[in-house]
Structure 1
Amino acid sequence: MSAVLIGLIALWMFNVWYPEPFRSLSGGLTLFFLIAFVDLLLGPGATLVVSSPGKSKREWRTDVALIVLVQLAALFYGVWTVYQARPVFLAFEIDRFRAIHAIEIPIELLGSGPPDTRVLPAYGPRLVAVRPFVDAKEEADATMAALGGVHLGARPDLWMSYENAVPQILEAARPIGELLNRRLDALAAWNDSSSYGSLNADEVLYLPLVGRSSFWTILLDRHNAHPVGYLPIDPYDP
């Protein structure tokens, strides 16, 4: 039973909450393995602890029921934690993109974003952009908050429509050919992917993409700045 539930959770997680590349970029795979490890070991381990040949059938059924309840509670808590940690926005921040997770957004600021961002998406991340600062004080305050752990892209009061930010994004992005010529690993990743291999490099730009603990490269359509793919390459490396 546990294995079936874990399988269903995996299907939902990796197709809805953590679609590629976020299962790696946002730690979805690590979180899933943690849930599976705890839940699949909890049942057999607890059964071994409480098992005793001298127990009556009633006592045995009671123990098994308690074990099932504990497993379900642990599973529910794990899934809730994964849900709270899911990526909800892909934010353009001045010269990069950042994966923004539900737990990173200050709840008190959520109502100050654009109307269509005031409810956190439950079905994969949406595109937003950080607007230009209104003055030097706002920039300084936002910088200090970022140093304290609240990234610019996690601030709804600094968000603007992604479509309105397209000119700034296209200006900040660089032709993918520059990265492919400079990095053999980027060229190999490009060539190894059938979906990217069909793209015309002249039509693709790139920018860094910041994840939970790693940098990737986001590929953008040079006409509308919409994402067309991702490379597991840190473009900041020389």
Structure 2
Amino acid sequence: MSLVIYNPAKPKSELVRDYSVIGLIQLSALVYGLYAVAESRPAYIVFVKDRLEVVTAIDFDSEDFAEASDPYNQISWLGPRRVCVEYPTDPEERNELVFSAVSGKDIQLFPKYYRGCKSGELEAKVYPAQQLKSIAQLKSYNFVEGFPTGDFTWLPVKHRFGAWVEVYPEGDVSKGYFVDINPFE
């Protein structure tokens, strides 16, 4: 755009004004882009029953954080936090949660149910390597970058654009990494 508006015959004040408008447009686009990235960043990786759910910052309602306990009452700027959920024991609250889930807002979107994961909680629900290898054979996923070899376990990971798997080499949850395989197809 700078080359398009440049004309040596233009007065200097007009060129400054034109370049200022271009700079303002570019700065506005940068601010909007940063805002969009901040709003869509992963906030939590929530373990729910037998899968991981990636929840982004924009998925939350601000009033949900008012009911959550510290440190789950805010979103981290340093990357997503891994948490587990504690299902309510009150029957009325459980019913409200079921009706909320039917309308599209399940437990992973309520920070008041978040808690730290207990030792061995994820390991107790992982799937064996053979199951992912079977899926890979059916769907020709054997050539996906990062496809695990050797002994491993895995969990499905759901996110707003589909699903992946998180692979745990030799069953070690602390060494998990994501692989772009949809186990639900």
Task: Find the partner of 1:229 among 167, 177, 182.
Answer: 177
Query: CA-to-partner distance for each residue in 1:111-161, whole Å, 9 max, x for gaps?
Result: 433422223111211101111231443233223223333232121011111
Task: Say which SS state the counterpart of residue 115 (structure 1) adopts.
Answer: coil
Query: CA-to-partner distance for each residue in 1:13-50, whole Å, 9 max, x for gaps?
Result: xxxxxxxxxxxxxxxxxxxxxxxxxxxxxxx2x874x5
Structure 1 residue 149 corresponds to structure 2 residue 104 = yes
Q: What count of residue pairs does the alignment treat as equivalent?
A: 183
Task: Say which SS state the counterpart of residue 153 (structure 2) adopts.
Answer: strand
Verify the 8 A CA contact 2:42 2:80 in the aligned structure 1. yes
Query: CA-to-partner distance for each residue in 1:204-236, whole Å, 9 max, x for gaps?
Result: 322211111211112246766446111211112
Counterpart CA distance in 2 for 1:112 and 1:224 is 34
Task: Say which SS state the counterpart of residue 83 (structure 1) adopts.
Answer: helix
Alignment partner, residue 67 of structure 2: 112
Note the residue ranges of structure 2 that are not aligned, 5 or more in a row. none
Verify the 8 A CA contact 1:93 1:130 in the aligned structure 2. yes
Alignment partner, residue 96 of structure 1: 51
Query: CA-to-partner distance for each residue in 1:169-221, whole Å, 9 max, x for gaps?
Result: 333321122211342234433xx428x44xx42xx322211111211112246
Identical counterparts, % of pairs: 22
Counterpart CA distance in 1 for 2:90 and 2:168 is 29
Alignment partner, residue 60 of structure 1: 15
User: How many Å apart are 1:107 and its aligned residue?
Assistant: 1.5
TM norm structure 1:
0.66
User: How many Å apart are 1:53 and its aligned residue?
Assistant: 6.7
Q: 1:230 to 1:151 in 2, by over 3 A?
A: same
Alignment partner, residue 215 of structure 1: 163
Counterpart CA distance in 2 for 1:96 and 1:176 is 15
Task: Find the partner of 1:74 among 29, 54, 57.
Answer: 29
Task: Say which SS state the counterpart of residue 183 (structure 1) adopts.
Answer: helix
Verify the 8 A CA contact 1:181 1:187 in the aligned structure 2. no
- Larger proportion of helix: 1
Structure 1 residue 175 corresponds to structure 2 residue 123 = no
User: How many Å apart are 1:60 and its aligned residue?
Assistant: 1.1
Counterpart CA distance in 2 for 1:137 and 1:87 is 31
TM norm structure 2:
0.83
Counterpart CA distance in 2 for 1:220 and 1:235 is 15
Counterpart CA distance in 2 for 1:158 and 1:235 is 27
Counterpart CA distance in 2 for 1:225 and 1:119 is 25
Alignment partner, residue 40 of structure 1: none
Paired residue type of 1:180: K
Following superposition of structure 1 onto structure 2, how do residues 130-141 of structure 1 map, counting pairs within 5 Å? 130-141=85-96
From the CA coordinates, give the structure whose radius of gyration is larger. 2
Verify the 8 A CA contact 1:207 1:217 in the aligned structure 2. yes
